[in-house]
Amino acid sequence: MSTNVKKPLIKNPSHILIHALLIAGSIFMIFPFVWMIMTSFKSEDEILKTGKTIVLLPDQMRPSFLNGEEDKKRIAEHQRQKELYAASLASPASATAGGKKVQKPFEVFDNYKEAWAAQPFYRYFLNTFLTAITITTGSLIFASLAAYAFAFFKFPFKDQLFLLMLGTMMLPQQALLIPDYIILSKLHWVNTYMALIVPWLASAYSVFFLRQFFMQLPKDLFEAAMLDGCTRLQFYFKICLPLSKPPMVTLGIFSFLGTWNSFVWPLIVTNDTSLRVIQVGLSYFASEAGTRWGPLMAASTFTIVPLVVMYFLAQRQFVESQAMSGMKE
Amino acid sequence: MRNFLIGVLIFWFIVVGLIIRDGRAREAESLSGVGGDAKGRVEVVFWHAMGGPLGNVMDDLIGRFNKSQPTYFIKGIPMGSYDTLAKKLLASLVAKSAPDIAQNYETLTKKFIKHKKIVCLDALLASESEDIKADIIPVLLDNNTFDGKLWSFPFNKSVPVLYYNKDIFRQVGLDPEKPPTTLTELASYARHITRHFTPENGGRPTIIGFATGRANVWMFLCRVMQFGGLLVDEKGGKSHFHEEPAVKAVAFIQEMLKEGIAVEAQGFDHQNDFKAQRIAMIENSIVSKVHMESGIKFNYGIAPLPGEASRAVILSGSNINIFDNGDPDKVKGAWEFIKWFTSTDIGAEWSVRTTYVPVRKSSLQAPILMEALAKDPNLRAPYEELEYIAFEPRLSCWFEVRDLMADVLERATLEMGDPATYMKEMSKNIDGILRHNPD
Amino acid sequence: MLKKKKIDWGAYCYLVPVFGILLCFHVLPIFYSLAISFYRWDLIGEAEWVGLDNFARLFDDPMFYKSLVNTFYYAIVSVPLSIACSMSIALLLNNPISGIGIYRTIYFLPVITSLNAVSIVWNFIYHPDYGLLNKLLALVNLPPQLWLQDPFWAMPCIILMSVWKGLGYNVVIFLAGLQNIPKHLYEAARIDGANWLQQFRHITFPLLSPTTFFVFVMSTIGSFQVFSQIYMMTPRGGPLKSTMVIVYYLYQKAFEKFEFGYALAIAFVLFIMIFSMTLFNKLYVEKKVHYS
């Protein structure tokens, strides 16, 4: 792919059409995010506005020449609120206007402040990072070892074991929740980091994926190395791992995403606030906030942003790996 | 690649370090109240469903209890919602790792009694010098008494009320201090308001009179009782929804919807519509006041729900169970906490700060409650409703029955068919469920 | 090669970590679940043996049929739609145009976000009063809809959101597949005067078929297990149960109505369905796949 980009830009007329189609699709893909971020900066008054006009930018970020009649009215009202509030701070006597307490007027980051304070999200982020990194690295090591064995070794029951492993992917996770929970409780792991991490260190999908990749490596290479007195573990470390960087990066990213975004499992296996992960926190916050869209969008935004940042960081590796691995059945 | 891996490793250690630091910070915080560990005291784990502003009050009270005595430490763990709480309770019971106390609905309490998972409170009450039972508001006592024994303790019980926009009332010439008291009045007020805000050329009205939740079983049951009807017999397994009052209850809302003077909203959407001044009156739990308050920028009133043949309203919210985990110290600690939490003054404070009804009659006379009522008349409605509160049938299959009712109610207002047909079907199907689950 | 006669215990060492965990948390629970599906169990009390009753009950359960129909509806619409869209986008991206990296990132963005978060966002977009979608309709003077609250629209709304969410993943896989098609084939075709459509029909589509097959199999398995977005966006299985799918139904039976044995019976029927479908795909559909 990267070689294509480096080619000189050809002024091919058909490319205009391609760009047009891709841009239209991009707008559809990205608009929900834009809408989410914009809404997260809006006050409830702005959000609960109905009517035909679509106001994309929040009041406090919009250049004034874009304001319609209604917007101007709302902004003026907001300004008045601000002044009233400032006055009420200055003299407590005027703290009630017309029998009602003067409320603090909305500020741009209020939704974020409210959402962030509603749950110990800081701890949730730490827990999520911990589980995601541990699971990603751990499952990659374990899966590549198993895939290596499946691809290169001959041993009894190999096919049966492989089939058994594939079979585990076909039952919905919801059906296994309670039995898993009982096993965890027998191990005294309920409500510990172990429960969050250990069961996910084995991924049948990763083993399958890596095996497919290892199968493409020439078998002679392995046999020649064995004859040269190379041990199997050496071959794994010196040949297999360095060669399998692309699929490992792909799997790593998906494993990280999967863990970051997992919800039902951590919800069931942990109780304490100090063990909660980000998705559980988000869902708790969602049931608390009900239909308060502003803080909800703010919370959604800050649970998504770290992932997007990380994706950009890992993207280069990822693109290369995708280009190289290819899907050969 | 190597640099990347080293980077990941360093990051991992930083995260672990921060978690340890955060854990220490929490421990330090525990000295001043909530969170952290028990420090040699008897730890009582309490799972609850109080979040947002309610959770803050809960944390505050738990912290104060922990400071008030040296023996017990309540570890309050919020579970987000009743739904999640119930699921986690079940899972924990399967794994024999239940909390010591938890909020709970009557239906599950019934299951817990049957399978001996919870402690009967009668012995604990008997050990007290004070006659606590005599001071509990009778309907709450009945609500938690099963076969003559008190198995759960009323904890956070709420009632439905009518919220109305006083500014709109004034604007259309209605007396803002006289909210509707009968369903007939409610409909005529809604009609009056909607017409006032319907454009001359017959477009969509800018403000609609009334809104309720779609397929809202709670409100439906209230209305059935308000039309003088019965719900489901706790013993004998028979439902009364094929009778006149239930049919009237469905017809009432259907007619308002058809006329366009009311709308139905999904979940809590009508709260937003009310806040945005697009709906003049909504019916909802009194607890919504705590959630909505900060967003309301107009004068509003809270009134008891209108009645018709009677003014019945139905309790919602949950009770509290003590689980039988085999440690008498924890049971004692749990009981001490419940007793303290629902005591005259603390109960009154809880009631004022969260709008849940207090457990004790004496709380109704507590100074903090009297003061709050004088300051905010909108707090008054639930206390006025106390006289005619009822509760939903406590059957172990009630969740299933409720689900079925919600399905039928949803169809009744989406399809707008003949109410009697829906109710006949509902009654028949409920009787079917009851036959298989007689308790 | 001499070692071959002995049992190679060393090989198993490589499998121990993965299989230890799989056995403990995936295989054992499967058998445990299978056992429970022969009992009536409300999680709290003792389990009661009922034999095949749970499975027999399934055949008389109208809601089970409804959930089957809804699941097929979801699968039949979302899988081809997603494949068609992602293949087209991959084909567009497989041209030597500028800005590929940006497009690729944008299309992949929904994939990296959590269903929890995007469900909240789409809930708001579909909102009948304040939602973006109705506002867009109003711009072109179309009447507003109830979307997720409307029995007709609820499922299409879920499908649209799901396709949006999963599209990027398939795009990446298709792109990888397209990279594997030898360039010289196109050059030869161009020399023969084949136009774009002919090239697609005779080169791209057949040579891409292994990838398409992979995407098809994985998407079908995934679509039969659709759950999270239904759970997050349409409480109680949607208006008039129009989004009640199998996994949601089994979840509701297990965790809301506490009929655990029955829920697991549903799970096993689903398992058999997915398994036989995958087998069918492997045996019959894969015959049409062109492996180089």
Cα–Cα distance for residue pair C221/A89, rounded to 1 Å: 60
Give the model's pLDDT for residue C3. Answer: 47
Phi-psi region of C266 (alpha: psi -120 to 50; beta: other; left: phi over 0): alpha
Among B90, B273, B411, the residue with its CB nearest the CB of C43 is B90
Q: Does B206 touch chain A (CB under 8 A)?
A: no
Q: Does A229 touch chain C (CB under 8 A)?
A: no
Give the model's pLDDT for residue B37. Answer: 54
Chain A hits for B81, Cβ within 8 Å: 284, 287
Give the model's pLDDT for residue A196. Answer: 95
Percent of chain B with pLDDT over 90: 75
**Looking at CA atoms only, how far is residue A123 from chain B in angstroms?**
7
Among A137, A273, A290, the residue with its CB nearest the CB of B291 is A290
**Number of Cβ within a 10 Å radius of residue C2:** 5
Chain C hits for B405, Cβ within 8 Å: none
> Where residue C254 falls among pLDDT bands split at 50, 70, 90?
confident
Chain A hits for C24, Cβ within 8 Å: 183, 199
Q: Report yes or no: C131 and C149 within 8 Å, Cβ to Cβ.
A: no
Give the model's pLDDT for residue B49. Answer: 93
Q: Report yes or no: B427 and B242 within 8 Å, Cβ to Cβ.
A: yes
- Mutate which of C121, C125, C214, C229 to disrupt the A interface (most A C-beta within 10 Å)? C121
Chain A hits for C43, Cβ within 8 Å: 178
Give the model's pLDDT for residue A7. Answer: 46
Q: Does B87 touch chain A (CB under 8 A)?
A: yes
Residue pLDDT, tens place only, B340-379: 999 999 999 999 999 999 999 999 999 999 999 999 999 9
- Mutate which of C18, C23, C32, C272 to disrupt the A interface (most A C-beta within 10 Å)? C18
Give the model's pLDDT for residue A321. Answer: 56
Give the model's pLDDT for residue B437. Answer: 81
Verify whether the Cβ–Cβ distance B403 to C239 is below 8 Å: no
Give the model's pLDDT for residue B28. Answer: 72
What mean pLDDT do residues C18-32 have?
Answer: 92
Among C28, C130, C263, the residue with its CB nearest the CB of A183 is C28
Long-range contacts of A310-316, Cβ-Cβ distance < 8 Å, separation of 24 or more: A310/A256, A311/A253, A311/C105, A311/C108, A311/C112, A312/C105, A314/A249, A314/A252, A314/A253, A315/C105
Top pLDDT among B438 and B232 is at B232
Which H or E run includes B72? Answer: strand B72-78
Residue pLDDT, tens place only, B52-107: 889 999 999 999 999 888 899 999 999 888 888 988 898 888 888 899 999 999 98
**Looking at CA atoms only, how far is residue C166 from chain B in angstroms?**
27
Residue pLDDT, tens place only, A177-213: 888 988 998 899 989 999 999 999 999 989 988 888 8
Q: Report yes or no: A172 and C227 within 8 Å, Cβ to Cβ.
A: yes
Does the pLDDT value for residue A1 go beyond 80?
no
What mean pLDDT do residues B168-191 have?
Answer: 96
Residue pLDDT, tens place only, A272-299: 889 999 999 999 898 888 788 999 999 9
Cα–Cα distance for residue pair A99/A184, rounded to 1 Å: 57
Which candidate, B319, B309, B304, places its Cα nearest to that of B389? B304
3-class SS of residue B2: helix
Q: Which chains touch C (3 or more CB pairs under 8 A)?
A: A, B
**Looking at CA atoms only, how far is residue A147 from chain C in angstroms?**
8
> Where residue B287 falls among pLDDT bands split at 50, 70, 90?
very high
- Mutate which of A126, A267, A309 to disrupt the B interface (most B C-beta within 10 Å)? A126
Top pLDDT among B27 and C281 is at C281
Give the model's pLDDT for residue A327. Answer: 39
Q: Report yes or no: A132 and C114 within 8 Å, Cβ to Cβ.
A: no
Q: Give the residue numbers in C contacting B (CB under 8 Å), as ranges.
A: 42-45, 127, 129-130, 148-149, 151, 235-236, 239-241, 255-258
**Looking at CA atoms only, how far is residue A66 from chain B in angstroms?**
23
Give the model's pLDDT for residue A6. Answer: 45
Q: Report yes or no: A200 and A283 within 8 Å, Cβ to Cβ.
A: no
Q: What is the 3-state secondary structure (H, E, C) of B171-201?
A: HCCCCCCCCCCEHHHHHHHHHHHHHHCCCCC
Most confident stretch, A227-231, B146-150, C216-220? B146-150
Verify whether the Cβ–Cβ distance A284 to B80 is below 8 Å: yes
Does the pLDDT value for residue B32 go beyond 70?
no
Chain B hits for C255, Cβ within 8 Å: 87, 90
Torsion of CA C249, C252, C255, C261, to 10 degrees: -40
Verify whether the Cβ–Cβ distance C149 to B266 is below 8 Å: yes
Which candidate, C239, C208, C264, C227, places its Cα nearest to that of C43? C264
Residue pLDDT, tens place only, A214-243: 887 888 888 888 888 888 888 898 888 888
**Looking at CA atoms only, how far is residue B431 from chain A in angstroms?**
30
Percent of chain C with pLDDT over 90: 50
Q: Does A307 touch chain C (CB under 8 A)?
A: yes
Residue pLDDT, tens place only, A301-323: 999 988 888 888 777 666 655 54
> Where residue A68 falls among pLDDT bands split at 50, 70, 90?
confident
What mean pLDDT do residues B235-254 have?
Answer: 92
What mean pLDDT do residues C221-229 have?
Answer: 91
**Looking at CA atoms only, how far is residue C61 from chain A in angstroms?**
19
Among A149, A168, A303, the residue with its CB nearest the CB of C22 is A168
Among C residues 191-210, those touching chain A with beta carbons less than 8 Å apart: 210
Q: Which chains touch B (3 or more CB pairs under 8 A)?
A: A, C
Radius of gyration of chain C (CA): 24
When the pLDDT of each residue in chain A is averaged and rounded to a whole number, the result is: 84
Chain A hits for C115, Cβ within 8 Å: 261, 263
Give the model's pLDDT for residue A318. Answer: 62
- Give the ipTM: 0.88
Cα–Cα distance for residue pair B354/B272, rounded to 1 Å: 20
Does the pLDDT value for residue A11 go beyond 90?
no
Does the pLDDT value for residue C57 go beyond 50?
yes
Chain A hits for B55, Cβ within 8 Å: 288
Does the pLDDT value for residue B383 go beyond 90?
yes
Q: Give the residue on A whose Cα is nearest the Cα of B99.
A: A271
Give the model's pLDDT for residue A122. Answer: 93
Q: What is the 3-state secondary structure (H, E, C) of B343-384?
A: CHHHHHHHHHHHCCECCECHHHHCHHHHHHHHHCHHHHHHHH
Cα–Cα distance for residue pair A211/A148, rounded to 1 Å: 7
**Number of Cβ within a 10 Å radius of residue C23:** 14
Residue pLDDT, tens place only, C192-215: 888 888 989 999 999 898 889 888
- Mutate which of C44, C66, C252, C253 to disrupt the B interface (most B C-beta within 10 Å)? C44
Residue pLDDT, tens place only, C158-182: 999 999 999 999 998 898 888 878 8
Radius of gyration of chain A (CA): 27
**Number of Cβ within a 10 Å radius of residue C196:** 11
Verify whether the Cβ–Cβ distance C44 to B403 is below 8 Å: no
pTM score of the predicted model = 0.90
- Cβ neighbors of B155 (< 8 A, separation 6 or more) are B103, B317, B318, B319, B320, B338, B341, B342, B359
Give chain C's count of helices (H) and strands (E). Answer: 14, 2
Does the pLDDT value for residue C78 go beyond 90?
yes
When the pLDDT of each residue in chain C is averaged and rounded to a whole number, the result is: 89
Does the pLDDT value for residue C150 go beyond 80?
yes
- Mutate which of B324, B401, B414 to disrupt the C interface (most C C-beta within 10 Å)? B414
Q: Give the residue on A whose Cα is nearest the Cα of C8.
A: A155
